[in-house]
Structure 1
């Protein structure tokens, strides 16, 4: 039995992926060391991560200058930088991909967040990214919007690995699983292989609690101190909704994978579409900084952690196998209680808000990154004139 919490999580049937990528991580050898030590078995990225990596480092300047000389646009320069990092990361994870027969070892890259409401644009970009990166263990991230679900089905049918991101509600997860199965079924109907074709459903956590907690705090300001029972009920909900919601999603996942429909696909060699816990850094400093890790250890799941949460987990995570299976009835009761008049939290409204906020939080850094690259282009052009 391992003593390192990260390795104990892996022994419990959950994979740890890192939510971070930059050139320094690759060139220093740190990423390779973490992979070889078994600390992480995959990696996720997003526009915010690349915005920070490229705008805060001079490691990309030579390639940006080469892009300028080649007459490339800022978007083309961005893609050349990001694709290069993704390819190198895929190569580092390739041994994991082979050793797990395509279960792990993936590196995720997101299509432009500006395409979140564009089905065909998402399909076209996913195909282009997959062909350009040219690695079997690259995973294309597609937002779980109404427009994204048909794109997921088509991209899976094309034989492209997909990470469906920005999932918040159990309903959206069910639509994700449906899109994945339809895509697989189309391949089977065409006598195409579904072996080593993978997908994860990225279920976001901390943003839900942040939104719900803000609503509860507003309710507490309205309630005051005259109705102590009402105040106590409201406080019991603080910081609890995201984990309860995730536990219910996991129960849904178990029902889907136990269904005859899924079992038929499994016999054809299909990989289970694992739930991936995302947005796992705790935003409220009053909460346990590893609560989204400790509480959601479960078989056939992934938890993607930013570096600071990885460090915190190694230091003080308390791992219990299948903990996600605990207190299930309480989770259902908590979510149901949100409808009570004295709590009155509209969870559907919350999910709609956090979905749009999630898209905006990827659009803004993407546009900021394009501007950063344009600024570097302008600076280098002036310096040469």
Structure 2
């Protein structure tokens, strides 16, 4: 009998979620099948995913026509399509939510990406999305920008589950966890329950390596001037994202040992788990499951694209590695400052955040355009 390595991962305290959602996945029964056969325990979505799901898919046409007949504006039609998919996925994952006591079984939906730098609009939209969808196992995704972090604190204080997305730097992750803590503390001050609130911090991986590898390749092409620098540059290729993630996990451990967290834990608070995102390997020279194998550990989530789910079920090498090679991880990150490497990690993280928002804004705009075209076409039929 073939071993499903995804089920082994669950035994080590990590939950596997899927980074994909479309109506045909729900209607065909494939989502239920993935839960049963692949141990899937949650779903994340984003504007890029919905663009692929809705654009050119006739499955949505009847609902689009209903929106046209009801004279709904374009944004309302879009939301009616997306909210229905989210609700139906929440219903399918509800048994996982119940069985896990609210640890898993969540479906994430992102607030409009073009408000990533507006705290008040983010708070307002998070409230509206949460109320409109009306499912206790929905998570609202909020980008971890400087304006997004205060929004996280506020909506957590209002009892809304949050998936903080687009986290690249360890400092951003730490800020995210403290925002979660402050939100919970506000609820405690008001005498409100904190035991039913969940949050994950989506820490991105492959995009970091893609960015840094590109910088390394450029340095190699120019000709490394320092003796041995070529070899040093080659040794860090494809290694920074995992090292960065392992350091983030060490920060997680420090925070949960703090007095402030322990006080919340005593009142029933759930930890904000690190969620490994952007885990599809982009470089064909690397293992297609490298961002799974190296980051398995307790109290974490890994959200995988469908191809990585199947690859991992087939050939993941499962072991608890989240706390292995920690000293090497710190040394590797520190080595980026060395003159013969000279890569500014803070600048890389800033670039990635700007680019990450852009990667959500453009598909959102493209989706709205293709939806508008479809509305115009169906309206004249």
Following the alignment from structure 2 to structure 1, what is the Cα–Cα distance between the partners of residues 268 and 226? 58
**Where in structure 2 are the equivalents of 1:179-194 lying within 5 Å?**
179-194=179-194
Aligned to 2:329: 331
Deviation track 1:273-315 (CA, whole Å, cap 9, x = no partner) reads: 0000000000111111100000000100000000000011111
Whether the aligned pair in 1 keeps the contact of 2:9 and 2:318 (CA below 8 Å) is yes
Gaps of 5+ in 2: none
Aligned to 1:34: 34
SS in 1 for 2:194: coil
Following the alignment from structure 1 to structure 2, what is the Cα–Cα distance between the partners of residues 289 and 356? 26
**Where in structure 2 are the equivalents of 1:195-274 lying within 5 Å?**
195-223=195-223, 229-274=228-273
Aligned to 1:146: 146
CA displacement at 1:228 relative to structure 2: 5.7
Aligned to 2:377: 379
SS in 2 for 1:60: helix
Following the alignment from structure 1 to structure 2, what is the Cα–Cα distance between the partners of residues 34 and 11? 18
Following the alignment from structure 1 to structure 2, what is the Cα–Cα distance between the partners of residues 38 and 3? 11
Aligned to 2:77: 77
Aligned to 2:344: 346
Tell me if 1:110 matches 2:110.
Answer: yes
Answer with 44-53 or 29-38: which moved more.
Answer: 29-38
Aligned to 2:67: 67
Following the alignment from structure 2 to structure 1, what is the Cα–Cα distance between the partners of residues 379 and 127? 33
CA displacement at 1:22 relative to structure 2: 0.4
Tell me if 1:359 matches 2:357.
Answer: yes
Structure 1 segments (4+ residues) deviating >4 Å: none
Whether the aligned pair in 2 keeps the contact of 1:103 and 1:196 (CA below 8 Å) is no
SS in 1 for 2:322: helix
Whether the aligned pair in 2 keeps the contact of 1:51 and 1:369 (CA below 8 Å) is yes
Q: CA RMSD in A?
A: 1.1
Deviation track 1:17-42 (CA, whole Å, cap 9, x = no partner) reads: 00000000000111012223461100
CA displacement at 1:3 relative to structure 2: 3.4
Given the two structures, how large is their TM-score scaled by the length of structure 1?
A: 0.97
CA displacement at 1:260 relative to structure 2: 1.3
Whether the aligned pair in 2 keeps the contact of 1:276 and 1:303 (CA below 8 Å) is yes
Following the alignment from structure 1 to structure 2, what is the Cα–Cα distance between the partners of residues 259 and 56? 50
Gaps of 5+ in 1: none
CA displacement at 1:56 relative to structure 2: 3.1
Following the alignment from structure 1 to structure 2, what is the Cα–Cα distance between the partners of residues 357 and 103? 31
CA displacement at 1:365 relative to structure 2: 0.3
CA displacement at 1:382 relative to structure 2: 2.5
